[in-house]
Amino acid sequence: MKSGIVLVVSASLSNDDLCSSPFNLHPEEFFLASYDSLCFLGFSRFCLVILHEPDPDICTKLSLGIRDSRLLEGMWNLVALSNSPVRIISSPKNRPLKSLLDLGVEPFSPSEVRDFLSSLSSPKNSASFNPKKQPLLTADDIREMHKMGKLRLEPGALLTEWAKEVAVTLGISLPEKQANFVLAFLSTPTRASLIDLSEKIHSWSRANPKLLFVVPSPQIPLFRELFPSISSRLVAPAFHWAESGAFTGEVSLGMIQDAGCFGAIMPHSKPFFTKEQILQIASHWSILIDN
């Protein structure tokens, strides 16, 4: 079992910041490092890695598998080789890149770091905490596989954006994503009711990574404000096509995407369920569909 030490990588935080609200960590519970120092660190002793407000341009390069600097080489080793979960705390003005989410780097809030460490103190959770990360493949890895005659990726493999494009070009089957999601419907939530459910919502989300929250469209901004670390798990209950008009409370596909939602519930009927509209939906979420 790993020790309960969190690696926090930041260009702006200080030790005092991590010991005060909203992190509330004890000095012996964390190790604070700069991004430039990552290439000199080993990661085996950390139970959790936090990337605090990384440069969006660096994140974009990382999601593509680019390693043209010492900083990017260090970040790549962290994401690809560390067996500990890697989480990102983004600045309020920058939403986590979907491509980073595809690499297994999920959003986190400062208060959840404390919750994570507290969960490890439970004998049940402590004994079972032994994370196994899936292989993280680049475009070069895919080309090498093709040379060796391997045309199928192992289930759960994680690919950079370029790796996905190269795999499709070379005819290598992409790993199928399991679709066994669980939907939790939060009907007509108010700010007060969501605050009352805050502890349960975070507990549910940690217990089941496949849990998605269906929230009425007008309440989506409120949910994102109160639960920024799981805002990418939001599902809109309805949406409309711009050319067909909208009813009260409906939002467009573009608005859903801009809000960072995981998706939306779509009726199995026209004008939604047609080949043209399915292809349009797929393009919004970068889903490959075999025509």
CA neighbor of 77 nearest in space, from 29, 133, 32, 31:
133
- Residue appearing with tokens 């994680």: 158
Tens of pLDDT along 185-237? 887 678 888 888 888 888 787 777 778 999 888 888 889 888 887 888 888 88
Domain presence at residue 33: yes
- How far is Cα 158 from Cα 32, in angstroms, rounded to an integer? 27
pLDDT grade for 124, boundaries at 50, 70 and 90: very low
Where do the DSSP E strands lie in 116-210? 136-137, 158-159, 182-185
Q: Does one domain contain both 208 and 140?
A: no
Domain presence at residue 249: yes
Domain boundary among 170, 190, 224: 170
Domain presence at residue 291: no
Q: Does one domain contain both 110 and 163?
A: no
Domain presence at residue 175: no
Q: Does one domain contain both 35 and 101?
A: yes
Domain presence at residue 31: yes
* Amino acid present at 153: L
Tens of pLDDT along 49-88? 999 998 888 888 888 888 889 999 999 888 887 788 888 8
- How far is Cα 244 from Cα 236, in angstroms, rounded to an integer? 18
Q: Does one domain contain both 188 and 276?
A: yes
Residue 242: per-residue pLDDT: 56
Domain boundary among 65, 98, 128: 128
pLDDT grade for 155, boundaries at 50, 70 and 90: confident
Q: Does one domain contain both 16 and 90?
A: yes
- Whether the per-residue pLDDT at 116 is higher than 90: the answer is no
- Whether the per-residue pLDDT at 154 is higher than 50: the answer is yes
Q: Does one domain contain both 12 and 70?
A: yes
Q: Is 202 exposed, middle or buried (0-12, 13-18, 19+ CB in 10 A)?
A: middle
Domain presence at residue 193: yes
Tens of pLDDT along 207-219? 777 789 998 888 8
- How far is Cα 167 from Cα 141, in angstroms, rounded to an integer? 10
Range of the structural domain that residue 58 is part of: 6-128
Q: Which two tokens stand for residue 39?
A: 């290439």
Q: Does one domain contain both 142 and 235?
A: no
CA neighbor of 57 nearest in space, from 43, 42, 39, 75:
75
Q: Does one domain contain both 78 and 13?
A: yes
Q: Give the number of residues written for the chain.
A: 291
Domain presence at residue 88: yes
- How far is Cα 61 from Cα 45, in angstroms, rounded to an integer? 27
- Whether the per-residue pLDDT at 291 is higher than 50: the answer is no
Number of domains making up the chain: 3
Domain presence at residue 177: no
Q: Does one domain contain both 276 and 247?
A: yes
| CATH number for position 15 | 3.40.50
Average pLDDT score over residue span 95-124 = 74
Residue 244: per-residue pLDDT: 53
Q: Does one domain contain both 39 and 142?
A: no
Q: Does one domain contain both 158 and 115?
A: no
Task: Tell me the DSSP string of 23-72.
Answer: T---GGGEEEE-GGGGGG---TT-SEEEEES--HHHHHHHHHT---SHHH
Average pLDDT score over residue span 124-150 = 70
Q: Does one domain contain both 35 and 147?
A: no
Task: Establish whether the linkage from the previous residue to 271 is cis, with ω within 30° of 0.
Answer: yes
Mean pLDDT of the chain: 79
- Whether the per-residue pLDDT at 290 is higher than 80: the answer is no
Q: Which two tokens stand for residue 68?
A: 């043209």
Residue 90: per-residue pLDDT: 80
